[in-house]
Amino acid sequence: MFDALCVLCSSNAQIVLRNDTKGRFALAAMQGEVGARIYADEGIDPTNPETLVVVTPEAVLRNSDAVIHIYRHLAWPWRILGVFALVPRVQRDPLYRMIARNRYQLFGKREVCWVPDNADRQRLL
C-alpha cells in the first residue's frame, strides 16, 4: 500500500515497479478501494496513515520493516538498502514515523493520485 498523493510515496512505488524484476509486488493506493480496505482491516485510518504496509503470506509489515522488506527484494543497487535491518527497530522506526507524519511538507503532495502507465497498470490492485 502506498499514498498515491505523496510525492515520496509515489516515487517509491515507481522504483518498485522498475526494479522488481521478479514481479513479487503488486501495489495498492491507500486512496483506492483495495488499499483503504486493507488499511482499515489493520486498524489504520486510510485517510491519514502514518505507515506503509506490506502484506506477505507470513505477516503484515509496517514502518521501517515494510520499507526494508521491499528494498531487500528489488534489483541491485536498491537491494543494498536492506542493510538497514541491522539497525534496531527502536532506532529506525521513530525516524520512519517522523518522515511519514511530515511527508507532504518534506516532499510535496500531488493534486491528483499518481497512476502507473499502461505497462504497469496490471500490477495495481
Place of cell 518522515: 99
Please report the pLDDT score of residue 1 as a whole number.
Answer: 84
What residues make up the domain containing 31? Answer: 7-114
Q: Which three cell numbers stand for residue 51?
A: 505507515
Band of the pLDDT at 81, cuts 50, 70, 90? very high
Structural domains counted in the chain: 1
Please report the pLDDT score of residue 116 as a whole number.
Answer: 74
Q: Is residue 123 one of the residues assigned to a domain?
A: no
Alpha-carbon dihedral 64, 34, 25, 80, rounded to 10 degrees? -20
Band of the pLDDT at 106, cuts 50, 70, 90? very high
Q: Give the orientation angle of helix 63-72 with respect to helix 89-101, to 10 degrees.
A: 100
Q: Is residue 74 one of the residues assigned to a domain?
A: yes
pLDDT tens digits for range 39-52: 888 888 888 777 88
Task: Give the residue-averaged pLDDT of 67-85.
Answer: 93
